[in-house]
Every structure is written in structure tokens, then in C-alpha cells.
Chain A
Amino acid sequence: MNPGIDLQETFIQSLVELGLPADLAKAIWMPLPMLLMIIGATVGVLVTVWLERKISAAAQQRIGPEFIGPLGVLAPVADGLKLVFKEDVVPAKADALLFTLGPVIVVIPVFLSYLIVPFGQNLVITDLGMGVFIWITLSSIAPIGLLMAGYASNNKYSLLGGLRAAAQSISYEIPLALSVLAIAMMSNSLSTIDIVQQQSGYGILGWNIWRQPVGFIIFWIAILAECERLPFDLPEAEEELVAGYQTEYAGMKFGLFYLGSYVNLVLSSLLFAVLYLGGWDFPVPINLLAGWVGISETNTILQVVTAALGITMTLLKAYFLVFLAVLMRWTVPRVRIDQLLDLGWKFLLPISLVNLLLTAALKISFPLAFGG
């Protein structure tokens, strides 16, 4: 397996050749991919918001945003600008410190989780051994921010929304972690790079979705609940709770919640693509195609094309999932809170445990197909 392009090595080497010490060169390199990833995540949110508007319009037989830029693509930018310039209101009897800190605590872990999202063999900020576990860990911090926002708003709807958000997030974290565990068991690793590596080689047939038919449904339901998307958007259920924990927020503080929820949706879709849909893998193995055409694996142009194709494939898969989530939002009714908790604890948890056990059994009996 050839490693493909390694930008980090090349960058550091060229700086060292200019006469800089090696660790300084690495320190100069480090912020670059992080900045790129943050910008990428933000642009991803803008695209998702635009998709949400357009798809919801199509689902309701409207046209949606049309005049703000071609096909209304600038509508989310206009939204963002509006939120930036809005007055930043803190309610008189609210706890100003916690009120400000709440959205911050919700947003930071989500952006931090982009640390482990791979777009190619070397196109990842760091290849941590912990990999997806970091994501699960970081996503467990968010409910604290939600509780903080709900409490500090000094509003009953907000408090109820915050409590619901925390309960929902705790309940669905367990099936989520168990379905990820089944994948980790098959891949012998938690690292996102290794998980994709293990699925590659057979094109679309090797993807985990075929080996984890139950696991991916559990994972999908759990990430919908974690992202508070319909049918699980109880924390902000408009008809019951005004807007849940966001009720008292305005301006950029509300914007942070909004941004956080969409970044989380894109992140979850990206990780779904990595865990179950082969990440940056093309449906037909590229090495095979290159072999047929007769190009060697170390060809520079082929490597650039592979890297570009990898990024495109990851994004395409992720945005297909985002599309599904948006479509679900406009077609499915909301569940009640007791139904939500029943589904999480009485149905998904046992099923995911059985799935884990089955995966272990299959791994022992068919080590070839289930990554022995």
C-alpha cells in the first residue's frame, strides 16, 4: 500500500531545508490544517443551511431562497450576517456569566471533534490511536453547556429544554458507543484511518454497511438523537417549549447554538461515512482502475487525482446523509419524550448489545470476512 501524498512531511522538510529548526517548522505547520478544517466546517454549515432551506421548500412545494445569489446560495451568509449584527440581549434576571458560557461549551467540543475526521490517507489533522473514542468523549461534554444555557436563562421552557437535551444525549450516547464499538472490534482499531483502511480493497462491497446492517441503523438513529434532529428534536420542540434552551437567546449567542447544531450534523454525517460507507474510498477500487489503464501506483498525477477523489467521495457521502436527515426533518413527526426514552433504553440498548455480541461471534467464526 503506497502512502500517497503527505503534505506535512513535504512542508516540514522544505522549511528545514530553508534553515529552520525541525520543531519550529512543525509548530508553523500545526495551525494550518486546523484553520483549514475550521473554515471547512463553517463552509459545510453554510452549505447545509442552504440545503435545508431548498429541500424543505421542495418538500412543501415551494421554491425557497431564490434571489440572494444564484439559486439563493447566499441566503445562509445573509442569515449569519444578520445574527452577527443583531443586538446581544441578556435577560435582566438571567445569570449573565453562565448565559454566555453555555453556547461556548456547546460549540467548542463539536469543532474539536474535527480533529479526527479523515479525508484521505494523510488528509487528517492527527491520526490518534483513540480516534472515534475522542469524538464520543467530546460529544458527552455538550449536555453540560445545554444544561448551563437552560439554567442560566431563568425561564421554565429553557430549563425544561436543557433537561430534555441532557437526558436525550445521555440516553443515546450508549447505543451510539456500542455500535461504534462493534466497528472498532471488526477493525481492530479505534483510529479513523485504520477503520477506513480495513474497509478498502474491495470497493463498495467491502464497506462496513454490509457487515453491520443492524449497527448502522442504530448508529443513524443515535446520531439523529444526538444532533437533536427530527424526529428527536424534543429539546427545542416549538409547539411545546417555544424553542427549548434557546428561547432567551438572541444575536450571536443564538448563532453559536445554531452553528453548533449544524456543525454537529455535518460531523456526524462525516463520521457515518467514515465508519460505515468506506470514508474516502471510491465505490470501485482506484488501484484496480489504474491497473487496467496501466498507470503505476506511484504516478504523481494519479496520487493527486486520488487525493481529490478522496475528499470528494467523503463529502459526497456525508452530504447524502445530510440530505437524508433534512428530508426526514420535513417528513417525520416528532416523538414524545416517553417514546424517545423508551426507544433509547428499552429497544436500542438491548439491540445494540446483541449486535455487539453477534459481531464478536462472527469475528471469531469468520475471521476472514469480519476482520479477525
Chain B
Amino acid sequence: MNLAQGVQIVSFGLLTLMVIGASLGVVLLPNVVYAAFLLGGVFISMAGLYLLLNADFVAAAQVLIYVGAVNVLILFAIMLVNKREDFLPLKRGWIRKAATGMVCAGLFALLSTMVLTTSWNFSTGAIAGNDSIIVIAKHFFTDFLLPFELASVLLLMALVGAIILARREFIPEETDMPARDAALTLPERPRELMSVSSSSEFNR
């Protein structure tokens, strides 16, 4: 065993410990803010694992998307509604916890049998190394074109949905609307015409 291999094994062990420890913290800590910060730790350690697998682009994308965007948005949401209230202990709360624990244990058993029974084929191709972006791009535009395009359509849909949700203007004083009309709609101010609203914005 040479120096490089030793470093790899030690860092693999450390990263695994970090992933397991941090994710247990995410699930078990009662403080939501701690859990959110630890989630960032989980994502970063996963990026480290990807790096050990020679997948540098995946690792960087993991950090950029999950830590830089998803986790920051989660933290943002938590801090904007920063109420710091103590949750009341639920009556028979242990039933929920036991059920959750059982579901998790079942999932773990299922996944580990899957991991153990699958015969993994290791790729025999050369390691892409610094050219990994080029290899990934070739795959995206040849044999994985359809999933790639579908993912982008999905993102576009999410984008449009977010804009529609954000443009909705609630009117809190008129909440006592007739219930049968409003059963499936959210209370909403009548939308102005596009040209009128945009010109009034310029005038402000």
C-alpha cells in the first residue's frame, strides 16, 4: 500500500463518519436550525465521497447546487419564520417515532439487500480525470439526451410554477369569501391587464 492509497482510505473513513454522524444529527436534533446546518455538512461530505470516486464535476455540482442553493434556501426559509418556539410534547408521540424508525429500518434493510445482491460491474474504461466535463457532455448529447431534456423541461415547469405562485397577491382582509366558490381557489386580487400593471410600475 503506497502513500496515495493510505490517504484515500483514511479520508474515505473520515468522510463516511462525517456523513453518518451529520445525517443522524439532521434527523435526531430537535433544533431545526442545527439540523439545517448539519444538512450542509452531509452534502459537503457527500461531495468529498464523489471526489474520492474521481467524479470531480459531480462533486463540484453537488456543492454548488445542494450546499450553495438548496441548503441556503432552506436556511433562508427557516430564518425568515424564525419563531424559536418550543414544541409541545405530543401525547403518545412515541408511536410516531416508532413508526418512523420502523419505516427507516425497513428501507435500510431493503437497500442493503439490494446492494448485497446486485453484481456490480466495475467500469474498465480509462479514468476521465481532468477531461470529465467533456465525457459527461458527450453522454448528455448522445445516449442520455432524452433524460437531459426532460430534466430541463421539468425545471422550466418548476420555474413557471414559482413565478405564478410569487405573483399571486393575497388579500387578507377579504378572507370571508363564499366558501363554495373559493373551495379550490386561493383568495386573490383580480389580475390587472399586463400592459396596465407594467406601465404603472414604470410610473412609480
* Residues in chain A within 8 A of chain B (CB atoms): 23-24, 27, 98, 127-130, 133-134, 136-138, 140-141, 143-144, 147-148, 150-151, 159, 162-163, 166-167, 170, 173, 190-191
Q: Contacts A24-B3, A129-B130, A170-B69; is A163 near B56 (CB within 8 Å)?
A: no
* Residues in chain B within 8 A of chain A (CB atoms): 2-4, 33, 37, 40, 44, 56-57, 60-61, 63-64, 67-69, 71-73, 75-76, 79-80, 82, 129-133
The A contact surface, by secondary structure, is helix
B68 and A147 within 8 A (CB): no
A129 and B56 within 8 A (CB): yes
List residues of chain A with CB within 8 A of the CB of B72: 140, 143-144, 147, 166, 170
B37 and A148 within 8 A (CB): yes
Complex alpha-carbon distance, A148 and B71, angstroms: 12
B63 and A166 within 8 A (CB): no
Q: Contacts A24-B3, A137-B64; is A190 near B75 (CB within 8 Å)?
A: no
Q: Contacts A166-B72, A166-B75; is A130 near B4 (CB within 8 Å)?
A: no
B202 CB to closest chain A CB (Å) equals: 12
List residues of chain B with CB within 8 A of the CB of A167: 76
A129 and B131 within 8 A (CB): yes
B130 and A147 within 8 A (CB): no
Q: Contacts A23-B2, A130-B133, A159-B79; is A144 near B71 (CB within 8 Å)?
A: yes
A55 CB to closest chain B CB (Å) equals: 32
Complex alpha-carbon distance, A134 and B132, angstroms: 14
A98 and B37 within 8 A (CB): yes
Contact of A173 among B33, B63, B68 (CB under 8 A): B68
A147 and B64 within 8 A (CB): no
| A-B residue pairs in contact (CB < 8 Å), sample of 20 | A27-B3, A98-B33, A98-B37, A130-B133, A133-B57, A133-B64, A137-B63, A140-B64, A140-B69, A140-B72, A143-B72, A144-B37, A144-B40, A144-B72, A147-B75, A163-B76, A166-B76, A170-B69, A170-B72, A191-B130
A136 and B64 within 8 A (CB): yes
B56 and A128 within 8 A (CB): yes
Besides A129-B56, A129-B131, A143-B72, 4 new A-B residue pairs in contact (Cβ under 8 A), listed by A number: A130-B56, A134-B60, A144-B37, A190-B133
Complex alpha-carbon distance, A291 and B23, angstroms: 62
Complex alpha-carbon distance, A141 and B44, angstroms: 10
A27, A141, A173: which has the most chain B beta carbons within 10 Å?
A141
List residues of chain A with CB within 8 A of the CB of B130: 127-129, 191
A23 and B76 within 8 A (CB): no
